[in-house]
Chain A
C-alpha cells in the first residue's frame, strides 16, 4: 500500500478514475468513450505544452513565457496564412515551430550566458512577446474567414477515427519520452536539476543543458501556437492569456518537482489530463463559476501537498568512508 502511494503516476491514475466516477454520478454521459476521446483531444495542446515545461522544470528552471510564445507563433502562422493562403500547411507549422524555438533560444541564452534567474527572464520575455504580437498585428484580429480552409482543417481531420490533433500530441509524447529515456540530453536534464554541482563534475555543461530545455519548450510552444489558432479559428493579442499557469499546474499535479530533477513524461501527461478532465467536466456538472475557480485552485494545492510529502526523502550516502581499520 505504501509502495502504491509512493508511485505518483499510479496515484494520479487512481485520482483521475475517482474524479471520473464522481462526474458520472452527476453526468453519466461524460464517460462515454466518444466523450473521453473528445476530452483527450481538448487536452492535447495542454499536454504538448506540459511536456516542454517539464523539461525546463527538470533543470531547475521555469518558463513563464510559453503561453506568450504560443500566442506570438500562432499569430505569425495565422498572418502568414492570411497573406499567402497557398502556402503548404506543413511549411506554416515549420515556421511556427522555428519561431517558437528561436523565442525559446532567447530565454535559454539569457539564462545561460547572463545567468539571470529563469523566473525573471521569462517574466520579462512573456511581456515582450505579448507586446510583439500587438506591434505585429496592430491589435487586430485574424478571423476565421481570413484563414484558408486547409489551415483550419488539419487539427480536425480524422485519422483512424481520431482527430490529427490527438495523434500529434501522442507523437510528441512518444518523441519526448524517447528524448528523456534514450538520449544523453534527456539524462542531462535530470542530472542538472537533481544536483547541478555533481552534474558539472560528470562533464555536463549546466547552462547549455538548460538552453536546450528552453529550445524544446519553445519548439513545442510554437507547434501549439499553430494548433491553438487553427483549432479556435481566431488569432489576437490575448489568446491563451494566463495559460502559462495551467501548464505549470499540470506539471506540478503530475509530480514534477519545482526544485528540479524529479518528474516523468507520464506524470506530465497525467497531470495535464487531470486538469483537462476537470476543465471539461465543470461546464456539464452545473456548478457556479465561482466554485469552479475554487475547485481548480484546491486541486492544485492538494496535488502539491501530496507531492511535497512524497519528495521528502532521506539523503543518500553516495560516498562511504573506508571502514576504519
Chain B
C-alpha cells in the first residue's frame, strides 16, 4: 500500500517535471524595479514587453516591492528564485544589501544583471548603465551646437562646484568641444541645485554675456530654473536652454520655446535592453570584461573591467515627443 502510494507520488512528480520541461521553452525573465507604480519603471516595463514580443519565447515578469526598500526587493528576489525564473534584471534600492540574495540566485543558475541603479560587483554578472560620462558630455554640447549652426557663446549652469557627476560630464564636454566649430564655452556657474540660486546665476549670465546663445544645464533643478529665468528676461528665441532634465518637468518650457531640446535616458530603451541582455546570457553568452552582449535594436554593449556597460547616447526630447513622455516620467 505504502509502495503504491510512493509510486503514485513519483509518477505525479515526474509528470509535473515533464510538463515543466515542455513549458520551459518560454524563458522567464524577471524585471525587478525599485518600487511598483513609478512612471519611469512602468515605461521600462513597456520596453521589456516590447523585447519579449520581439524575441517570441520570453515571458517578462514585471515585479518589485510597493515601496523603495532593499528588504522588499530581497523578498521579491527570494520568491523569484522559488519560481525558478531564468534571469533577474534588477534596479537596486541598495548596492550591497541585495548581494546575498542575488548570489543565491546565481548559485541556482539564474542569470542576474542590474540596470539603472547598480548592485555591487559580486551580486550580478553585469551592470547596464543608461549612458556613459563621455556620451553625456558629448550630448550636452551637441544639443547646444545643433541649434547654433553659426556658433556662438555658450555657458554652463552646473549644480554645486563639488558635484562629482556634474564635473565629470563638464570635463568630458570640454574634451570634445573642438569638434563643434564656433561653439565658445564662456564660463561655468554653479546654482547648487537650488531654484533661487540657479535662477539668479542665470540672470547673472544674461547680464555678463550679452551675446549668450545657449545655456547648458546638466541638472534637473538647474535646467528648469534657467528656463524660467530666460522666460522672465524675455530672451526666448535668443537664448536656448538645454542640458539634462525630465520630460514632465520640462514640458512647459519646451512648449514656451525657452528650451528647444534636452536629453535624458529613455526608460523604454533601458527596459528593452536589459531584457535583451538577460536573454543573451540565458542563451549562453558570457559576461566578462571585453565581452559584447546583444541588445536587439539598440546594438551591442561592451563590458569594461567591472563588467559594466553603457547602453547609448542620452535620448533627445523636443517639442515632438516631450508631451508623450511627460506622462511617463
| Chain A residues proximal to chain B, CB less than 8 Å | 27, 29, 35, 38, 42, 141, 143-146, 156, 228, 232-234, 239-243, 279-280, 282-284, 286, 288-290
Do residues A234 and B208 form an inter-chain contact, with CB atoms below 8 A?
Answer: no
Interface string of B243-266 (1 = CB under 8 A from A): 000001111110110000000000
A283 CB to nearest chain B CB (Å): 3
Do residues B255 and A284 form an inter-chain contact, with CB atoms below 8 A?
Answer: no
What are 28 A-B pairs with beta-carbon distances under 8 A?
A35-B207, A42-B203, A141-B249, A143-B224, A143-B249, A143-B251, A144-B224, A144-B228, A144-B253, A145-B255, A146-B252, A228-B196, A232-B196, A233-B224, A233-B228, A239-B195, A241-B194, A242-B194, A243-B196, A279-B197, A280-B200, A282-B204, A283-B189, A283-B200, A284-B207, A288-B161, A289-B161, A289-B189
Taken together as a complex, chains A and B put the C-alpha atoms of A273 and B228 apart, in Å, by: 23
Q: Tell which of B161, B190, B199, B205 touches A232, judged by Cβ atoms closer than 8 Å.
A: B199
Question: A286's closest neighbor in chain B, by CB?
Answer: B208
A237 CB to nearest chain B CB (Å): 12
Do residues B249 and A234 form an inter-chain contact, with CB atoms below 8 A?
Answer: yes
Taken together as a complex, chains A and B put the C-alpha atoms of A27 and B208 apart, in Å, by: 8
- Tell me whether B232 is interfacial, beta carbon within 8 Å: yes
Do residues B248 and A141 form an inter-chain contact, with CB atoms below 8 A?
Answer: yes
- Tell me whether B201 is interfacial, beta carbon within 8 Å: yes
Chain B residues within 8 Å of A288, by CB: 161
Question: B251's closest neighbor in chain A, by CB?
Answer: A145
Given contacts A29-B207, A283-B189, A283-B208, 12 further A-B contacts (CB under 8 A): A143-B250, A144-B251, A144-B252, A144-B253, A145-B255, A233-B224, A233-B252, A234-B224, A241-B194, A242-B194, A280-B203, A290-B161
By DSSP majority rule, is chain B's interface helix, strand, loop, or mixed?
A: helix
Chain B residues within 8 Å of A241, by CB: 194
Taken together as a complex, chains A and B put the C-alpha atoms of A228 and B204 apart, in Å, by: 19
Total number of A-B contacts with CB less than 8 angstroms?
71
Q: Which 7 A-B pairs have the closest CB atoms?
A: A283-B204, A145-B252, A144-B252, A232-B195, A289-B161, A289-B190, A284-B204
Do residues B161 and A234 form an inter-chain contact, with CB atoms below 8 A?
Answer: no
Chain A residues within 8 Å of B199, by CB: 232
- Tell me whether B293 is interfacial, beta carbon within 8 Å: no
Taken together as a complex, chains A and B put the C-alpha atoms of A141 and B207 apart, in Å, by: 29
Taken together as a complex, chains A and B put the C-alpha atoms of A228 and B203 apart, in Å, by: 16
Chain A residues within 8 Å of B250, by CB: 143
Residues 177 to 208 of chain B near chain A (Cβ within 8 Å): 187, 189-190, 194-197, 199-201, 203-205, 207-208
Question: B228's closest neighbor in chain A, by CB?
Answer: A233
Taken together as a complex, chains A and B put the C-alpha atoms of A184 and B201 apart, in Å, by: 43
Chain A residues within 8 Å of B227, by CB: 144
Q: Tell which of A42, A239, A284 touches B208, judged by Cβ atoms closer than 8 Å.
A: A284
A43 CB to nearest chain B CB (Å): 10
- Tell me whether B312 is interfacial, beta carbon within 8 Å: no
- Tell me whether B145 is interfacial, beta carbon within 8 Å: no
Chain A residues within 8 Å of B224, by CB: 143-144, 233-234
B195 CB to nearest chain A CB (Å): 4
- Tell me whether B225 is interfacial, beta carbon within 8 Å: yes
B227 CB to nearest chain A CB (Å): 8
Question: B158's closest neighbor in chain A, by CB?
Answer: A289
Taken together as a complex, chains A and B put the C-alpha atoms of A241 and B195 apart, in Å, by: 10
A241 CB to nearest chain B CB (Å): 7
Given contact pairs A29-B207, A241-B194, A143 touches B200 in the complex (Cβ within 8 A):
no
B210 CB to nearest chain A CB (Å): 10
Taken together as a complex, chains A and B put the C-alpha atoms of A228 and B225 apart, in Å, by: 12
Chain A residues within 8 Å of B225, by CB: 232, 234
Taken together as a complex, chains A and B put the C-alpha atoms of A228 and B255 apart, in Å, by: 22
Taken together as a complex, chains A and B put the C-alpha atoms of A299 and B205 apart, in Å, by: 24
